[in-house]
């Protein structure tokens, strides 16, 4: 195969991760080593994504003619869904929130820790997804927001986001009141997200609502014998939510 055949594969089949390209090169008759060398040499018509490296050193390759097209964005999102759960969870949750959230709330939505060893932090998720054009940062009436990018590939104009935020605030106040009345949480220690203060946190993750709970099944004993509370955490969504949308919340629960 000539080097230009890599470009022909990408033109025919669309953008792909390096692992998939290597398999196609091997299917053409190249050895694994020859395929890796062929891919590393590249081609004038072939580019690889800058700003986002996938796990195990995988890279996203595309034909230069595809850059910014619907096929390009669809392939990039598919690759992230398959290979990068840290980024996929953030995109899925942002879509579930209607495509836009206040920048202050992105650590909640992203599903990534604010800071945690061996984990990609929420600021890094935002900066990398912004660098490749999947997310955008903007300011509306002096408030910073994060929205879906990709040149509109994710859907039509974003609408109804102010109403969605308002309904979420009502939901969170109702959940906090409900939890207090049922004595599920320490009455004066329930924290709810807000645009001006510190976000509610459990461990290294931020949530829409968080409060310590001294219910019997949730209390543990510390090293000194004193009680250590469990925690009630909550993230608010409005409307239908799919598996991709809830992945960020589950990811926080699993890694807290």
Residue 216 has pLDDT above 90, yes or no: no
Q: Which helix (H) or strand (E) holds 127?
A: helix 122-131
| Closest alpha carbon to 191 in 183, 202, 181 | 202
* Mean pLDDT across the chain: 91
- Going by C-beta distance under 8 Å and a sequence separation of 6 or more, which residues neighbour residue 42? 3, 6, 48
Comma-separated ranges of CATH 1.10.10.10 domains in the chain: 82-152
* 156 confidence band (pLDDT: 50, 70, 90): low
Mean pLDDT throughout 214-237? Answer: 86
Predicted confidence at residue 157, as pLDDT, reads: 59
CA 207 to centroid of chain Cα atoms: 14
Work out the average pLDDT over 127-154: 93
Q: How far is CA 256 from the centre of its chain?
A: 16
Q: Report the candidate in 256, 191, 193, 202 with the shortest Cα–Cα distance to residue 229.
A: 202
Mention every residue, 6+ apart, whose C-beta is less than 8 A from residue 26. 32, 35
CA dihedral 45, 50, 56, 61 (to 10 degrees): -20
Q: Is the pLDDT reported for residue 62 higher than 50?
A: yes
What DSSP line would sit under 3-67, residue for residue? THHHHHHHHHH--EEHHHHHHHHHHTT--HHHHHHHHHH--TTEEE-SS---GGG--EEEEGGGT
Percent of the chain with pLDDT over 90: 68
Model confidence at 199, in pLDDT bands (50, 70, 90)? very high
Task: Specify the pTM.
Answer: 0.89
CATH topology of domain 4-67: Arc Repressor Mutant, subunit A (1.10.10)
Three-class SS of residue 205?
strand
Who's near 183: CB < 8 A, 6+ residues apart? 215
Mean pLDDT over 73-80 rounds to 96
Is CATH 1.10.10.10 the classification given to domain 82-152? yes
CA angle 250, 252, 254 (to 5 degrees): 70
């Amino acid at each position: 195969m000539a080097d230009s055949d890599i470009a022909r594969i990408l033109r025919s089949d669309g953008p792909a991760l390096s692992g998939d390209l290597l398999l196609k090169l091997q299917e053409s008759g190249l050895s694994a080593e020859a395929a890796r060398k062929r891919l590393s040499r590249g081609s004038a018509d072939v580019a690889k994504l800058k700003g986002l490296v996938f796990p195990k050193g995988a890279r996203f390759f595309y034909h230069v003619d595809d850059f910014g097209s619907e096929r390009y964005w669809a392939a990039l999102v598919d690759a992230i869904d398959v290979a990068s759960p840290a980024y996929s969870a953030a995109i899925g949750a942002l879509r579930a929130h209607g495509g836009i959230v206040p920048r202050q709330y992105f650590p909640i939505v992203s599903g990534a820790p604010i800071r945690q060893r061996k984990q990609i932090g929420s600021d890094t998720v935002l900066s990398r997804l912004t660098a490749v054009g999947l997310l955008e940062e903007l300011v509306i009436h002096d408030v910073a927001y994060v929205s879906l990018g990709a040149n509109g590939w994710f859907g039509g104009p974003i609408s109804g986001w102010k109403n969605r935020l308002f309904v979420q605030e009502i939901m969170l106040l109702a959940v906090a009141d409900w939890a207090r009345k049922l004595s599920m949480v320490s009455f004066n220690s329930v924290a709810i997200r807000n645009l001006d203060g510190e976000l509610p946190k459990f461990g290294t993750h931020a949530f829409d609502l968080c409060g310590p709970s001294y219910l019997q099944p949730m209390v543990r004993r510390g090293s000194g014998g004193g009680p250590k509370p469990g925690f009630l955490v909550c993230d608010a969504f409005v409307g239908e939510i799919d598996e991709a949308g809830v992945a960020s919340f589950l990811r926080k629960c699993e890694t807290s």
